[in-house]
Amino acid sequence: MTEIRCSPHIHSSETTTRIMWSVLIALLPAAIGSIYFFGSDALKVILVCILSCYIGEVVSHLVFHRRLKPFDGSEAVTGLLLAFVLPPSIPLWMAGIGGFLAIFLV
């Protein structure tokens, strides 16, 4: 009979928070470039997407009765990546709903 064990994954001392902040730092030049080329509209979309992702995280914790944990940065990464694929001329309410649902549904 076989014994079920954990997979022999390589262990790393890096936390999720540290990895997410590393990703954010890596995406920072692209964010600065998008603001430079597309102006304040791109900045607005980035801010709305990130903020709505954080709101989606808080609401999901309240709706599903989970303990509110400290934010690990994954919300900011999701919001920034979402903002990168949206046009700068998108209505901000659409960007907000997209960010909220990206976190809430996943």
Q: What is the pLDDT of residue 1?
A: 65
> Per-domain residue ranges for the chain?
40-104
Residue, of 20 and 4, whose pLDDT is higher? 20
Whole-number mean pLDDT of the chain? 91
CA dihedral sign of residues 102, 104, 105, 106: positive
Question: Considering the entire predicted model, what is its pTM?
Answer: 0.86
Q: Does residue 100 contact residue 56 with C-beta atoms inside 8 Å?
A: yes
Q: What is the pLDDT of residue 8?
A: 65
Please report, rounded to a whole number, the percentage of residues in the chain having pLDDT higher than 90. 74
**Per-residue pLDDT tens digits for 14-29:** 888 899 999 999 999 9
**Per-residue pLDDT tens digits for 86-101:** 999 999 999 999 999 9
**Per-residue pLDDT tens digits for 35-71:** 999 999 999 999 999 999 999 999 999 998 888 777 8
What tokens does 13 get? 């001392």
CA dihedral sign of residues 11, 12, 16, 20: negative
Q: Tokens 């303990």 appear where? A: 67
Q: Is residue 103 scored above 70 in pLDDT? A: yes
d(CA 84, CA 42): 9
